Structure 1
Amino acid sequence: MAARDKFYHPYSPYDIQLQFMSSLYDCLEAGKVGIFESPTADDDEPNWMLEYSKKEKTQALTQKWRELEDRLARIRKEEERKKKKEKLLHSFPRLSKKQKTDVVAQGTAADESFFELDHYESDTEIGKNASNPGLGNIEGLSASTVALLDRFKGRDTDRKEDESELENQTKIYYCSRTHSQLSQFAQELRKVNLPSSLPSLPGDGPIQEHAELEEIIKHLTLGSRKQLCINPRVSSLGNPTAINERCMELQQSGVASNKKCSYLPTKESEDLLSEFRDHVLSTVQDIEDIGFIGKQLAICPYYAARTAVNHSEIVTIPYPLLLQKSSREALGLSLRDHVVIIDEAHNLMDAIANIHSISVTLDQLRTSLFQLTTYARKFQTRLKGKNRVYVTQVIRLVSSLADNLHSLAQKNKSSEVIIQYSDLVSGKGVDQINPYKLSRYLQESKLARKVDGYVEHNTQSNSADKAVKTTVPVLFQVQSFILTLMNPSDEGQLFLEKTNDGILLRYMLLDPTNHFRDIVDEARAVILAGGTMSPMSDYADHLFSYVSPDRLDTYSFGHVIPPKNLTAHILAKGVLGSDFNFTFDQRNSETMIADLGQTVANLCAVIPDGVVAFFPSYEYLKQVLNAWNKPSKAGGGASLYSTIEKYKPILYENQKKDNSTDDILLEYSKKVDSGSGALLLSVVGGRLSEGINFSDKLGRGVLIIGLPFPNIHSAAWKAKIGHIEKQTYAKRQDEPESTRRAIAKAAGRDFFENSCMRAVNQCIGRAIRHRNDYAAIIMIDRRYETSRIQAKLPAWIRQSLVSDVKASSLCQDGLVSFFRSH
């Protein structure tokens, strides 16, 4: 086997896995954008079961590092090393319980100068970061911290040559949605043993295989301050934005040295930073490991982790830190000529849209306006030049937003309505404001931080309550919203919503293209991977529309299971003869809901062990449960609920975000293990539809009830579909007018259906989890019979569809035969 085909898989891979790895290798070598669909094959144990061993693993981890520290302590017996270590430890004392890390208290009128704005001149500010482009958008960092990050990123003059060589080495940036998924990746990475890549020196002679050097994979996982902050007075704030802002506050030049965070690296801590880096890279670590190392060495792991970036070969990172350019710059990450792999990428476009969407309430606008006005009056004699101009502009803009939002809410009776930017900024001369200059001022002047600091100081000065704030400052939220208004108007849409909490102004990103394009343009290769990426047309049409066809490849691999281990059915009719058509207009039919209950009971009678049913929404699940619990006119008054429970006990998911999900899963598992089987009623897009493994007996049957189309009449979906139609129409300029309109309308419908079917495919993928697993998939709705909908199913599902089985009785017969053969 050629070296290029040696993937060093920890286990003997299946043929499909070899095909996947070979195609992935080709894609990376060619520097392409690749979309890979390959169903997941996991261990037999479901994810929620593994959580029970977490405590034991934590204890084992602690013991591991205690042993490591013991070894390091023995090495440090040398006198010179000991003196150096004592000096470093003296520079980094641990925080005592009495020590405070709050911003220096400003108790007198003279101290209020701390909240004054620094001199700002926009004409000269444009190029102030020209020599330091990677840090251009890091708001609020002190000069010393910027210099520190410069050194972390290889810009220190004493280390330039070494760091530039390391930067030229190709890295893999592996991104997933959650830290738990990244930790799982790290666990798998530990199983891989690669041969040494170090070349033999002249005269060494042949190296025997058993004597090859062992080379550890240099892996680093990066996280946010919320995951990595070890300062208890900061991490206890809980809210990510509050933690970020408090961290920034403690780095301001006006904070007394004894009040600053003692964990922050300084010029004197280079040896300690090197020690941290070596610990992090010594073995494959996850985010908890890195936090533990920081605590052991009493140095901030959030900042210290920068020292390991250039030395790493694989860097794992959660979605938000990769998908936001400002976050990448703050972390000092360059994707230039490196590989980016995004796992669980089926919801990538939604993730990008969510990250770059934001909302603000009318109350928040009014509160921030009051704070800005109070600040401006207090410092009016000290606001000079451009500061006076821009503070006045911010006040006018916020005032205009608040007044116009209130006026629009009174004019519109609907609970949700699309509004235009021009409607929000009319009057008060706001149309004369240069939005780009104002945006730059907000980012560079630290106005929000100064105003919030003064407001907090003023509040505490007039109150005996000195408690640490835990909420996100209002002005930061308003500033974030203002900055989104600077996006091109055709990328997003503004909505006015009336909720129980008041009037809400929401910006929703409609087009994720430009926010991902800089990643694609910079990286050597970009890979999107997931177990169920189908339907894939949206990625080519709406995320990579600018990528030439010869650079974009899509791959859909089969499942590791043999075809006989899966059967898929479409039920168009129920056992009582009803046509199953769960459209929004017809799904309330009592007759159809009753037929659904009897059909589910019959299916539970022939499917062994655990069955998971997915409903379109929580509201509809609740409606069906209420109907099933009513006494039936037939069957002696027994309810359909009790009829189903003759075959399997019923458990169901609720909409509350609490620990009940874990309790339901455990109860479900217990019932299945007891031999009684169980029926678990869930929701498409709910907490059980992603990331949960219903392997083996836990998922012998998956029922998809209806198609979970979003509400096409909502303002948000009208805007999304309208945006797709407008884009498609603009691209077809050479077509006749009627053809352009028809194609645009079809593109909008396709986008709408794709959103629905991606959610369905995620649910279907919950059941089959390993080579020997087997299950039945039943899609209950006549619309699944259409070729257009079936084409959006993964290939491994389509090839297992049983043809011409539309009646419940035929489906039952087929299921009996299927499970009898297993």
Structure 2
Amino acid sequence: MPAFRLPVRQLVEFLLRTGSIDSRFTGFDRANEGARIHRKLQKAAGEGYAAEVFLSGEREAAGIPFTIEGRADGIFTDEAGVTVIDEIKTTAVPAGDIAEDMNPCHWAQGMVYGALYGRQQGLEKLDVRLTYYQIDTDDILRFVRHFTLEELEAFLQDLLEQYAPWAQRQLAWKEQRVVSLSALDFPFPAYRPGQRALAGEVYRACTAAPSKSGVRLFCQAPTGIGKTMSVLFPALRAIGTGCGEKLFYLTARNTTQSAAEDAIARLRASAPKLALRSVTLTAKEKVCLHPDAEGHPACLPELCPYANGYYDRVNTALKALLDDGTGRFDRAALADAAKQFTVCPFELGLDLSEWCDVIIGDYNYLFDPVVHLRRFFDSAGDWLFLVDEAHNLPERARAMYSARFRKSSLTEAKRALGRGKSTLKTALSKADKAFLEGRKAVSALAPRRGSTTAEEDDSGQTSLLGSGETPAIELPAADYAQDGTVFCKELPSALLAPLRALTAPLQDWLEDDPDAEAHAALLDLYFEVQDILRASERYDEHFAAQLTARGSDLELQLLCLDPSPFVDASLSAGRAAALFSATLTPPGYYRTVLGCPEARAVALESPFPAENLGLYCLPSISTRYRQRDASIRPISDALAALASSRVGNYLAFFPSYAYLRQVWEDFTARYPDIGTLVQESGLDDAGRAAFLERFSPCPEKTLLGFGVMGGIFGEGVDLAGDRLIGCAIVGVGLPQVSPRQEMLRRYYDDQNGAGFDYAYRWPGMNKVLQAAGRVIRTQEDKGVVLLLDDRFAQSEYARLFPKHWRHLEYLRDTKELKKKLEDFWKG
């Protein structure tokens, strides 16, 4: 029987943790703060103090061999020559209330480490010391207990005996899993064209010899070939061979989570004896069963019955779920179990993930530095990562590692606090004054001018440093300034210092006045302050500081321009990663931005008949900003030609809502007989579903939908068959010129001389190709893609077209377009 690997912390907390979930304010980001304090205390301990000592030992209980492992915070020998295991804990509990027995898990961790180290070193006795660090007052309290090795071994053995039934359950499950996955067949009679090739690439990546940073694969596969099944099936087969312990399916949207759930359901239906557990992790705000009056999760035991006593009931819920035999734990299943056992569905999903084989969730569960799954990714494991729609990851990763703070947050907090003097009021005033002076400095450096857009100039530089009165606050040298915004390569310490000084009094106030009317506003401020300070700690040459003056406000952003080292570190936590999408062109761009320069990149040919896709371009139309007014009528005429060529459903994609609205108003005035539908900004799930329902099969009248490139209908939407028979793409999708995009351009110009490509052209064309991919979804589909912009005829853009666009035709005018469309539909 293989040994059951069991981390010390998992063993202890699973058996001994009791009580309730309590999210009331007790400080922010305790894990990161605790790690910093651990390092501080370990360093202060001096020579002879061994920190972060990895310990591992073999034990047996109930016939099960265990490998127990973990890291002891510290080990040293005291003045009497006795070995001491030091367990360090940070706490917000007032120093006067810190008691020796306040948390049995703390002693248990130290005692298990003592058993492992004592046997390893042949010691007859040793001590365990609990070191509590009071995070608000910097008080340090220590408690010491004396043990013989025999006592510690008995304690560990008792824990293992209690845990053994759970281990036996999991070992039996893994044995079933290996047998069923190794015999798993593809759940369809045959592969679609392209599916076998994609599955083979993923299988080879997952079963390759492990490396220090993990195997990486980038795979571009055409929309509609069935990518979800093509990556899930081979990854699960790899787990069946012993390559990989868990599979993480990571997505950018809820719609692709559903696709993964459906694919696993298909596998279960095709293999009734399949032993496979999957859990879908959904944001707490969406699954909370007991929100407060404003709709936010109320994770307080006195308010929420699902939080109250959670740890006393969760193991009962876990046992029932693991034994029920379904193995599918989606949002609805978790909600049902949460109601049955009165436990929090969000926390239940997290705890259940440790017992599941497939974990489906958002990108942030792996890549976000704050909310990533620490139970899995704080150290490397035998994990497999499938990253869906990976073209979204560069921008999402930049956002995860960036942070922003506004002066107005300070002003609002002062207003909420009301009149009167206090330490907090003084700290708020100092920070507010610093940001006021910062705003004046920025306004002097970069006076506002008229804005511009990427369509005006595809290559020119717009950097312009202003001049003005000497600022009262010292900011770093401006690297670039434009239109009310200044960029600095160095951190603006003059603004960050008063925010750092604000932390302690703000935290004290929040803990002392939990029922105050201003508590919610000041709690929001605290989170914002900590977010920007945390970003400042990881700030390096991959970042830029952006300062923007708007009216009386000043916004500070610490922008991650290049997320490659952070994405690389996250992917290194696993055995292999397959990043896939219909649009990963050019591959070198994605490998660079995502920190995988040596990764294998493959692009699969489209399996669909070329004659089923009518592909036309009108290069006589310019959609550049300066020509937009002149382009409105020609675009309307082209759209009318497209929509009149055959009764059916069509979509037209625009680079912005404003441009969309201009063309729509002209189109509806001049072509009132053609039905239209307009995408509104900020649609929720219900609004999105209502929009898509209008695209019904076998329509009796033509419908032309107006949408935005890169929006919720521009990708991840599957309108197969005659639910969509054509789309028009207006413009090349370039992001609007902004100070941030210009800084991004400058950064990559310095890195590789391709700044415009990285900041504008390649992200823009990705939106174009994604939008075009809405049309052909199956072998039987037939439809038209119409490109409206003269730049589609330029080599810099045309070379980004996929190979199955070789038959693209450039047409002179709308008259020729009508003839081509007539011939296409006749054919």
Q: TM-score, normalised by structure 2?
A: 0.64
2:615 aligns to what SS in structure 1?
A: strand
| 1:756 aligned partner | 764
Once the two structures are superposed, the pairs formed by residues 412-423 of structure 1 within 5 Å of their partners are 412-414=446-448, 416-420=484-488
Are residues 495 and 275 of structure 1, via their aligned partners in 2, closer, same or farther at CA, if it must alter by over 3 Å? same
Structure 1 residues 327-369: Cα deviation after superposition (integer angstroms, max 9, x where no partner): 2245554552311111121111111112223322212134557
| Structure 2 portions without partners, runs of 5+ | 1-180, 209-213, 227-241, 449-482
1:534 aligns to what SS in structure 2?
A: coil
| 1:321 aligned partner | 365
Number of residue pairs matched by the alignment:
591
Counterpart residue identity of residue 675, structure 1: E
Are residues 685 and 616 of structure 1, via their aligned partners in 2, closer, same or farther at CA, if it must alter by over 3 Å? same
Structure 1 residues 143-168: Cα deviation after superposition (integer angstroms, max 9, x where no partner): xxxxxxxxxxxxxxxxxxxxxxxx99
1:476 aligns to what SS in structure 2?
A: helix
Deviation at 1:663, TM superposition (A): 4.5
The correspondence for 2:332, drawn from 284, 288, 291, is 288
The correspondence for 1:452, drawn from 510, 514, 519, is 510
Deviation at 1:588, TM superposition (A): 2.4
| 1:801 aligned partner | 808
Counterpart residue identity of residue 238, structure 1: G
The correspondence for 2:736, drawn from 699, 711, 714, is 711
Deviation at 1:173, TM superposition (A): 0.7
The correspondence for 1:303, drawn from 347, 365, 370, is 347
| 1:404 aligned partner | 438
For 1:482 and 1:365, locate their aligned partners in 2 and report how far apart those are by CA, in whole Å. Answer: 15
The correspondence for 1:593, drawn from 610, 632, 645, is 632
Say yes or no: does 1:186 pair with 2:261: yes
Are residues 568 and 539 of structure 1, via their aligned partners in 2, closer, same or farther at CA, if it must alter by over 3 Å? same
| 1:426 aligned partner | 494
2:385 aligns to what SS in structure 1?
A: strand
For 2:315 and 2:665, locate their aligned partners in 1 and report how far apart those are by CA, in whole Å. Answer: 66
Structure 1 residues 255-304: Cα deviation after superposition (integer angstroms, max 9, x where no partner): xxx67866355664464143254168732221221122111111223333
For 2:326 and 2:362, locate their aligned partners in 1 and report how far apart those are by CA, in whole Å. Answer: 22
Once the two structures are superposed, the pairs formed by residues 255-654 of structure 1 within 5 Å of their partners are 263-264=307-308, 268-269=312-313, 271-278=315-322, 282-330=326-374, 332-333=376-377, 336-368=381-413, 377=422, 400-405=434-439, 407-409=441-443, 412-414=446-448, 416-420=484-488, 424-426=492-494, 449-459=507-517, 473-499=524-550, 502-544=553-595, 547=597, 549=598, 552-572=599-619, 579-589=620-630, 592-628=631-667, 641-642=669-670, 644-646=671-673, 648-654=674-680
The answer (yes or no) to whether the contact 1:568–1:778 under 8 Å persists in 2 is: yes
Say yes or no: does 1:815 pair with 2:821: yes
Are residues 278 and 408 of structure 1, via their aligned partners in 2, closer, same or farther at CA, if it must alter by over 3 Å? same
| 1:678 aligned partner | 703
RMSD: 3.8
Counterpart residue identity of residue 175, structure 1: L
2:695 aligns to what SS in structure 1?
A: helix
The answer (yes or no) to whether the contact 2:709–2:768 under 8 Å persists in 1 is: yes
| 2:458 aligned partner | none
1:299 aligns to what SS in structure 2?
A: coil
The answer (yes or no) to whether the contact 1:373–1:395 under 8 Å persists in 2 is: no
Say yes or no: does 1:174 pair with 2:249: yes
Counterpart residue identity of residue 774, structure 1: K
Structure 1 residues 97-151: Cα deviation after superposition (integer angstroms, max 9, x where no partner): xxxxxxxxxxxxxxxxxxxxxxxxxxxxxxxxxxxxxxxxxxxxxxxxxxxxxxx
2:718 aligns to what SS in structure 1?
A: coil
| 1:22 aligned partner | 200
Deviation at 1:218, TM superposition (A): 1.7
Structure 1 residues 410-445: Cα deviation after superposition (integer angstroms, max 9, x where no partner): 764325412437684339xx77x9x9xx69x96xx8
Deviation at 1:805, TM superposition (A): 4.1
Counterpart residue identity of residue 358, structure 1: A
Counterpart residue identity of residue 312, structure 1: C
Say yes or no: does 1:221 pair with 2:270: no
For 1:225 and 1:618, locate their aligned partners in 2 and report how far apart those are by CA, in whole Å. Answer: 31
Counterpart residue identity of residue 619, structure 1: A
Deviation at 1:700, TM superposition (A): 1.3
| 2:461 aligned partner | none
Deviation at 1:305, TM superposition (A): 3.3
Q: Taking every aligned residue pair, what percent have the same amino acid on both sides?
A: 17
Are residues 805 and 295 of structure 1, via their aligned partners in 2, closer, same or farther at CA, if it must alter by over 3 Å? same
For 2:274 and 2:651, locate their aligned partners in 1 and report how far apart those are by CA, in whole Å. Answer: 45
1:192 aligns to what SS in structure 2?
A: helix
Deviation at 1:195, TM superposition (A): 9.8
2:355 aligns to what SS in structure 1?
A: coil
Are residues 423 and 486 of structure 1, via their aligned partners in 2, closer, same or farther at CA, if it must alter by over 3 Å? closer
Using the TM superposition, name which of 311-320 and 485-494 deviates more.
485-494
| Structure 1 portions without partners, runs of 5+ | 44-166, 197-212, 252-257, 381-390, 461-467, 573-578, 630-640, 729-743
The answer (yes or no) to whether the contact 2:404–2:555 under 8 Å persists in 1 is: yes
For 1:19 and 1:283, locate their aligned partners in 2 and report how far apart those are by CA, in whole Å. Answer: 29
For 1:750 and 1:619, locate their aligned partners in 2 and report how far apart those are by CA, in whole Å. Answer: 25
Are residues 226 and 470 of structure 1, via their aligned partners in 2, closer, same or farther at CA, if it must alter by over 3 Å? farther
| 2:454 aligned partner | none
Higher helix content, 1 or 2: 1
2:627 aligns to what SS in structure 1?
A: coil
The answer (yes or no) to whether the contact 1:276–1:304 under 8 Å persists in 2 is: no
For 1:471 and 1:376, locate their aligned partners in 2 and report how far apart those are by CA, in whole Å. Answer: 16
Deviation at 1:28, TM superposition (A): 1.6
| 1:738 aligned partner | none
Counterpart residue identity of residue 817, structure 1: D
| 2:99 aligned partner | none
| 1:8 aligned partner | 186
Q: Which one scores higher on RCO, CA 8 angstroms, separation ≥ 6?
A: 1
Are residues 406 and 223 of structure 1, via their aligned partners in 2, closer, same or farther at CA, if it must alter by over 3 Å? farther
Counterpart residue identity of residue 695, structure 2: S
For 2:533 and 2:511, locate their aligned partners in 1 and report how far apart those are by CA, in whole Å. Answer: 20
2:785 aligns to what SS in structure 1?
A: strand
Counterpart residue identity of residue 342, structure 1: V
Counterpart residue identity of residue 23, structure 1: E
The answer (yes or no) to whether the contact 1:273–1:307 under 8 Å persists in 2 is: no
Deviation at 1:678, TM superposition (A): 1.8
For 1:379 and 1:588, locate their aligned partners in 2 and report how far apart those are by CA, in whole Å. Answer: 53
Counterpart residue identity of residue 216, structure 1: A
| 2:799 aligned partner | 791
The answer (yes or no) to whether the contact 2:398–2:563 under 8 Å persists in 1 is: yes
Deviation at 1:775, TM superposition (A): 0.8
For 2:283 and 2:705, locate their aligned partners in 1 and report how far apart those are by CA, in whole Å. Answer: 36
Are residues 563 and 682 of structure 1, via their aligned partners in 2, closer, same or farther at CA, if it must alter by over 3 Å? same
Deviation at 1:395, TM superposition (A): 8.4
1:15 aligns to what SS in structure 2?
A: coil
Counterpart residue identity of residue 702, structure 1: C
Higher strand content, 1 or 2: 2
Counterpart residue identity of residue 819, structure 1: W
1:716 aligns to what SS in structure 2?
A: helix
| 1:688 aligned partner | 713
Deviation at 1:719, TM superposition (A): 0.7
Deviation at 1:188, TM superposition (A): 1.9
The answer (yes or no) to whether the contact 2:250–2:361 under 8 Å persists in 1 is: yes
For 2:653 and 2:367, locate their aligned partners in 1 and report how far apart those are by CA, in whole Å. Answer: 31
2:652 aligns to what SS in structure 1?
A: strand
| 2:787 aligned partner | 779
For 1:747 and 1:697, locate their aligned partners in 2 and report how far apart those are by CA, in whole Å. Answer: 41
